[in-house]
Amino acid sequence: MTILVTGGAGFIGSNFVLDWLANAGETVINLDALTYAGNLDNLATLVGDERHVFVHGSIGDFDLVSRLLAEHQPRAIVNFAAESHVDRSIHGPGDFIQTNIVGTFQLLEATRAYWGALTGEERENFRFLHVSTDEVYGSLAKDDPAFSETHRYEPNSPYSASKAASDHLVRAYHHTYGLPVLTTNCSNNYGPYHFPEKLIPLVIHNALAGQPLPIYGDGQQIRDWLYVKDHCSAIRRVLEAGRLGETYNVGGWNEKANLAVVDTLCAILDELQPRGDGLSYRAQVTFVKDRPGHDRRYAIDASKLERELGWKPAETFETGIRKTVCWYLDNQAWVNNVTSGSYRDWVGQQYEGKQ
pLDDT band, very low/low/confident/very high, at 252 (cuts 50, 70, 90) = very high
Rounded distance, CA 73 to CA 69, Å? Answer: 5
Residues 201 and 213: beta-carbon distance below 8 Å: no
Rounded distance, CA 59 to CA 157, Å? Answer: 22
User: How does pLDDT run across 280-308, given as a tens digit for each residue?
Assistant: 999 999 999 987 878 899 999 999 999 99
Catalytic residue among 134, 197, 230, 315: 134
Arithmetic mean of pLDDT, 343-347 = 51
Told to judge if 159 belongs to the known catalytic residues of this protein, a careful annotator would answer yes
Q: What share of the chain is helix, strand, coil (3-state, %, to 5)?
A: 50, 15, 35
Catalytic residue among 159, 216, 281, 328: 159
Rounded distance, CA 81 to CA 94, Å? Answer: 16
User: How does pLDDT run across 92-150, given as a tens digit for each residue?
Assistant: 899 899 999 999 999 999 999 999 999 999 999 999 999 999 999 999 999 999 999 99
The pLDDT value recorded for residue 92 is 85
User: How does pLDDT run across 46-81, given as a tens digit for each residue?
Assistant: 999 999 999 999 999 999 999 999 999 999 999 999
Rounded to a whole number, what is the distance in angstroms from the first to the last CA of the chain? 53
Rounded distance, CA 340 to CA 355, Å? Answer: 24
Asked whether the predicted pLDDT for residue 166 surpasses 90, the reply is: yes
Quick one: which of 197, 251, 231 has its CA closest to 83? 197
Told to judge if 345 belongs to the known catalytic residues of this protein, a careful annotator would answer no
Question: In the chain, what are the domains?
Answer: 2-192+225-252+297-314 (3.40.50.720)
The pLDDT value recorded for residue 198 is 86
Residue 235 identity = I
Which pTM was predicted? 0.93
